[in-house]
Amino acid sequence: MSATNTPKQATIAAQPNTNQPIAMVTGATSGIGLATAKALAGLGYNLIITGRRADRLAALQAVLTVPSLVLVFDVADREAVKSTIASLPEVWQSIDVLVNNAGNAHGLASSENADLDDWDAMIDINVKGLLYVTKAVLPQMVSRQTGHIINISSIAGRETYANGAVYCASKAAVDRITTGMRIDLNPHNIKVASIAPGMVDTEFSLVRFKGDAERAGNVYKGLTPLSADDVADAVVYMVTRPAHVNIADILILPTAQASATVVKRVG
């Protein structure tokens, strides 16, 4: 395991406000996770922010105006997830909202040309990572008979497109896992939901194309994609509904996008 992925001692900025709920956001170092953390801070949530890049988490924590705790670990590392969440200070253990945002896409190649390491990374993070974090957080939610889990999926989980077989499969798994968990956790009064964004202008394409900024930029050329804030707004909408309401599923697209592969471009 690389130094970047080694779990670090939790960095705490103030004790949680006992009058406010606690939210955990995975993949809070950039994009949707970063925007979601800021949006939940705007609602007064105490925040547990997680990711692999300690410097980015520290920068986020520095601008938050609510009590926060930083956890540095890789969601794909089963033991790191288990041990780090188990070691949370007692006052931070009662997580009310879990946003499973950490995810990735690697490569855009046909099945015969794809890199097995890319496939492993997508399955390990998008599917296993979500399961590891959720399993670690669930016991206290079940014990308290309350909680809210929001999984960030993708339109790719609903429509398979060329050269994206494994990424699409990983997000389809998130969809099915979400539905199954909602059924399983129904007796425990735990809300389980998913948000499936279409094209969002984040680091997503830059990661997928392994740092090729020109190719990544072309993904959004000639249209106005969603912003990370647009998706964070959907999270806010979900968590601010009354206790008896669960917005179970949201598909959110830019106006220019009609499906995974149908997009109106100008110029």
Global pTM value: 0.94
The angle formed by the CA atoms of residues 80, 85 and 88, to the nearest 5 degrees, is 130
Give the confidence band of 22 by pLDDT, cuts at 50, 70, 90.
Answer: very high
Q: Which residue has the tokens 């492993």?
A: 120
Q: What is the average pLDDT across 262-267?
A: 93
Number of H helices, E strands in the chain: 9, 8
Strand ordering across the sheet containing 46-51: 11-13, 68-72, 46-51, 22-25, 97-100, 147-152, 190-197, 249-252
Ranking 1-15, 89-103, 150-164, 195-209 by mean pLDDT, the lowest is 1-15
- The rounded mean pLDDT for the chain is 94
Identity of the residue numbered 38: K
Q: Rounded to an integer, what distance in angstroms lies between the CA atom of residue 246 and that of residue 50?
A: 25
- Residue ranges of the alpha helices (H) in 89-227? 116-122, 130-144, 165-185, 204-208, 213-218
Identity of the residue numbered 193: A
Q: What is the average pLDDT across 153-166?
A: 96
Do residues 62 and 70 touch, judged by C-beta distance below 8 A?
A: no
Q: Rounded to an integer, what distance in angstroms lies between the CA atom of residue 52 and that of residue 59?
A: 13
**Domains of the chain, start order:** 3-252 (3.40.50.720)
Q: Rounded to an integer, what distance in angstroms lies between the CA atom of residue 201 and that of residue 113?
A: 27
Encode pLDDT of 81-123 as tens digits. Answer: 999 999 999 999 999 999 999 999 998 899 999 999 999 999 9
Encode pLDDT of 32-55 as tens digits. Answer: 999 999 999 999 999 999 999 999
Collapsed DSSP state (helix, strand, coil) of residue 97: strand
Give the confidence band of 2 by pLDDT, cuts at 50, 70, 90.
Answer: very low
- Please tell me which residue in 45, 132, 167, 220 is annotated as part of the active site: 167
Q: What is the average pLDDT across 142-150?
A: 98
Between the alpha carbon of residue 14 and those of residues 52, 66, 67, 90, the distances in Å are 22, 8, 5, 14
Residue 167 annotated among the catalytic residues of the structure: yes
Radius of gyration of the chain (CA): 18
